[in-house]
Amino acid sequence: DGGITQSPKYLFRKEGQNVTLSCEQNLNHDAMYWYRQDPGQGLRLIYYSQIVNDFQKGDIAEGYSVSREKKESFPLTVTSAQKNPTAFYLCASTGTSSTGELFFGEGSRLTVL
Amino acid sequence: KNEVEQSPQNLTAQEGEFITINCSYSVGISALHWLQQHPGGGIVSLFMLSSGKKKHGRLIATINIQEKHSSLHITASHPRDSAVYICAVHQGAQKLVFGQGTRLTINP
pLDDT tens-digit series, residues B38-57: 888 889 999 999 899 999 99
Q: Which residues contact B74 (CB under 8 A, 6 or more apart)?
A: B18, B19, B58, B59, B60, B81, B104
**Which chain B residues are Cβ-neighbours of A100 within 8 angstroms?**
48
For the cut 80, the answer to whether the pLDDT of residue A96 exceeds it is: no
What confidence score (pLDDT) does residue B2 get?
77
| pLDDT tens for each residue of A52-68 | 999 999 999 999 999 99
Stretch A15-32: mean pLDDT, rounded?
Answer: 93
Helix (H, G, I), strand (E, B) or coil at A28: coil
Phi, psi of B79 (to 5 degrees): -55, -30
Answer yes or no: is pLDDT of A16 > 60. Answer: yes
Sequential DSSP letters for B3-64: SEEEE-SEEEEETT--EEEEEEE-S--SEEEEEEE-TT--EEEEEEESSEEEEETTEEEEEE
Within an 8 Å CB–CB cutoff, is residue A6 touching chain B?
no
Task: Identify the CA nearest to A2 among candidates A98, A69, A68, A101.
Answer: A101
Say if the Cβ atoms of A109 and B98 lie within 8 Å: no
- Predicted confidence at residue B73, as pLDDT, reads 98
> What pLDDT is recorded for position B1?
64
Asked if B24 contacts B2 with a C-beta cutoff of 8 angstroms, the reply is no
Give the mean model confidence (pLDDT) for residues A83-108. 84
A3 pLDDT more than 80: yes
With an 8 Å Cβ cutoff, are B45 and A104 in contact?
Answer: yes
Q: Is the Cβ pair A101, B45 closer than 8 Å?
A: yes
Query: In degrees to the nearest 10, what's the CA dihedral of B72, B77, B83, B88?
Result: -10
Q: Is A103 on the interface with B (CB under 8 A)?
A: yes
- Mean pLDDT of all residues in B60-69: 96
pLDDT at res. B7: 96
Distance CA A89, CA A7 (A): 10
Where does the pLDDT of residue A40 fall: very low under 50, low under 70, confident under 90, or very high at 90 and above? Answer: confident
The predicted structure's pLDDT at residue B52: 94
Per-residue pLDDT tens digits for B15-46: 999 999 999 999 888 889 999 998 888 899 99
Which of A20-24, A37-41, B75-79, B80-84 shows the lowest mean pLDDT across its residues?
A: A37-41
Q: What's residue B54's pLDDT?
A: 95
Report the alpha-carbon distance of residue A40 to residue A42 in Å, rounded: 7
Q: Is the peptide bond before B108 cis (omega within 30 degrees of 0)?
A: no
**B69-74/B59-64 β-pairing:** antiparallel
d(CA B61, CA B32): 10
Residues B18, B8, B95, A8, CA torsion sign: negative
pLDDT for A97: 54
Residues of A in contact with B96 (CB under 8 A): 33, 45, 102
Q: What angle do CA A83, A85, A86 make, to 5 degrees?
A: 130
CB contact under 8 A, B100 and A103: no
Is A33 within 8 Å of B45 when comparing Cβ atoms?
no
Amino acid A42: pLDDT: 83
Enumerate the residues of chain B whose CB falls inside 8 A of the CB of residue A98.
30, 90, 92-94
d(CA A39, CA B86): 14
